[in-house]
Amino acid sequence: MSTKKEDVYPSYLKLFQNGELKRRAEELWNRMKQCDLCPRNCRVNRLDDQRGFCKASSTLKIASFGPHFGEEKELVGTGGSGTIFFSHCSMLCVFCFNHEISHLDQGEVTTCDGLAKIMLHLQEIGCSNINLVTPTHYIPHILKAILIAVQGGLILPLVYNSSGYEKVEILKYLDGIVDIYLPDFKFGCNEYAGKYAGGAYDYVEVTQRAILEMNRQVGVLEVDQKTRIAKRGLMIRHLVMPNNVSCSDKVIEWIAQNLPRETYINIMSQYHPSFKAKNFPEISRKISHSEFEEVIKHAKKQGLINAKPQE
């Protein structure tokens, strides 16, 4: 089923028309000369093929793309969420499910024009949105690709699907471009974030500030009343981990105290010990039913009416 222009009104069309999208794309591209796109602030010259923590240069690399039917139902619709998985990552969690992509450089080199063609292809085959997975280090490329894709007729909402470890300064470039933010809130304690996520001992405060900015930009999730597909808003994911190393109680309490009680939260049960998790006894097993249920109960107790157990 093709998408009709009157069915969706993505944010980025106005910024394309007034030239602001192009200006932001160029400014972000130049920031790669001393890259500070993520909280790692490596300051390497990616335009000269230098590589920082994420191991990405200025060459765009995509691991896979296609309609995804395993995302939240509000993103899937009948045609699937149009996911684009970018290679590399600024988090590098030791338990990463997609470590071949994030840690091991799997993917194919492409261009901004190639990325634009992928976006248009996903729209043509009937996807509900363009779902940018692990996009942080490629934001300049994404904005340049949108410039090209809009001229080819792109009208789908953009989903920014990230680790949550984002800089507010950079997120402000996406204001009026991203329609749906889909951040992880992985850890409620810096101790465990640092241990399992590449020394990100500032993860909690950085992610809290980022999620507040995302909420400021797009607000509580809005869905189309007919299709039940997400149009705009914030959707938070939280992965429950064994032995509460995710500090789920602290994550839930912060959301309850700082965001609207209608905030959408997907509480996820899918943790399994991937990649290097076996080297850490406390995370070398799946979670128990009781561990998961405890988090669900805590979310209800905190009054979060849209905290949903993973389907």
The 10s digit of each residue's pLDDT in 87-102 is 999 999 999 988 889 9
Q: Tell me the pLDDT tens digit for each residue of 112-137.
A: 999 999 999 999 999 999 999 999 99
The predicted-structure confidence for 193-229, as pLDDT tens digits, reads as follows: 999 999 999 999 999 999 999 999 999 999 999 999 9
Give the residue from 120, 116, 201, 210 showing the smallest Cα distance to 163: 210
Q: In DSSP terms, which residues pair with 307 in a beta bridge?
A: 265
Residue type, 292: F
On whether the CB atoms of residues 101 and 107 are closer than 8 A, the answer is yes
Nearest to 208 by CA among 164, 268, 163: 164
| pLDDT given for residue 9 in this prediction | 67
Q: Please compute, for residue 154, the number of CA atoms within 13 A of its CA located in the half-sphere on the CB side.
A: 28
pLDDT of the residue at 105 = 85
What predicted TM-score, i.e. pTM, was given to this entire model?
Answer: 0.95
User: Which residues are CB-contacts of 100 (< 8 A; sequence separation ≥ 6)?
Assistant: 63, 106
DSSP annotation of 241 reads -
pLDDT at 152: 97
> How many other β-carbons are positioned within 10 Å of the β-carbon of residue 226?
7
Q: Per this entry, what is the length of the chain?
A: 311
Give CA separation, 36 vs 33, 42, 169, 172, 215, in Å.
Answer: 9, 6, 10, 14, 22
The segments of the chain whose pLDDT lies below 50 read 1-7
CA distance 142 to 29: 10
Q: Looking at residue 4, what is its pLDDT?
A: 42
Span between the terminal Cα atoms of the chain, in Å: 25
